[in-house]
Chain A
Amino acid sequence: GDSVTQMEGPVTLSEEAFLTINCTYTATGYPSLFWYVQYPGEGLQLLLKATKADDKGSNKGFEATYRKETTSFHLEKGSVQVSDSAVYFCALRANSKLTFGKGITLSVRP
């Protein structure tokens, strides 16, 4: 079945550091890929998405590129801020369901 694997966390960075969060997937067909973010005590919000190979999703300084050859969708940001502290989920949609990774907690120190 479909699955999403995220790197183990948590991740702690200093403000203005470079961020990479790895995500790989297994799916039949051609899934759409997503990154969701969850701030403390809240539900999930869509951060960015990509629908086909080589698409790059971007939002709020975050980027991720749909790599079909490596089945990956790694999340990057050049300079993180304290306000980026949250839980980040990678997800895929290949049919009627969305499959999520386990999430990774990011903490950014001032």
Chain B
Amino acid sequence: DGGITQSPKYLFRKEGQNVTLSCEQNLNHDAMYWYRQDPGQGLRLIYYSQIVNDFQKGDIAEGYSVSREKKESFPLTVTSAQKNPTAFYLCASSRYPGESNTGELFFGEGSRLTVL
């Protein structure tokens, strides 16, 4: 089945540690995204990538880093510089908008990070 796989589903981290969240897609989508979800704040864009080896900062990129070495993979590292990392993290992918599609996002099931 085609889709987006995020792992791990739950992750605990001690303060001062970096952690990496995995996101893999087999939909052959060019664009991939990372969002952070907090109660009452909706989804906020962290980073996005429209093509391999290229990515752009979103609205809340500070304290995060990403890489896009392969089309199907877009891992997110939450660094120790992120002051409040406890949140639900969602990865998504899409095709480019065009005549045959509107570029809607397809989401993974999310990873919940808790800092102890």
Interface residues of A (CB under 8 A from B): 32, 34, 36, 41-46, 49, 51, 89, 93, 96-98, 100-103
Contacts and interface: CB of A to CB of B under 8 A. Distances in A.
Interface of B: 4, 6, 31, 33, 35, 40-43, 45, 48, 50, 58, 90, 92, 94, 97, 102-110
Contacts of B41: 102
B86 to A, nearest CB: 16
A42 B37 CA distance: 12
Contacts of A89: 42-43
B104 A34 contact: yes
B90 A44 contact: yes
A100 B97 contact: no
Contact of B102 (A41, A43, A93, A97): A93
Contacts, number: 57
Contacts of A32: 97, 102-104
A44 B107 contact: yes
A100 B43 contact: yes
Contact of A96 (B40, B50, B92): B50
A98 B42 contact: no
15 contacts: A32-B97, A36-B105, A42-B109, A43-B90, A43-B110, A44-B107, A45-B107, A46-B105, A49-B102, A89-B42, A93-B102, A100-B42, A102-B40, A102-B42, A103-B42
Contacts of B42: 89, 100-103
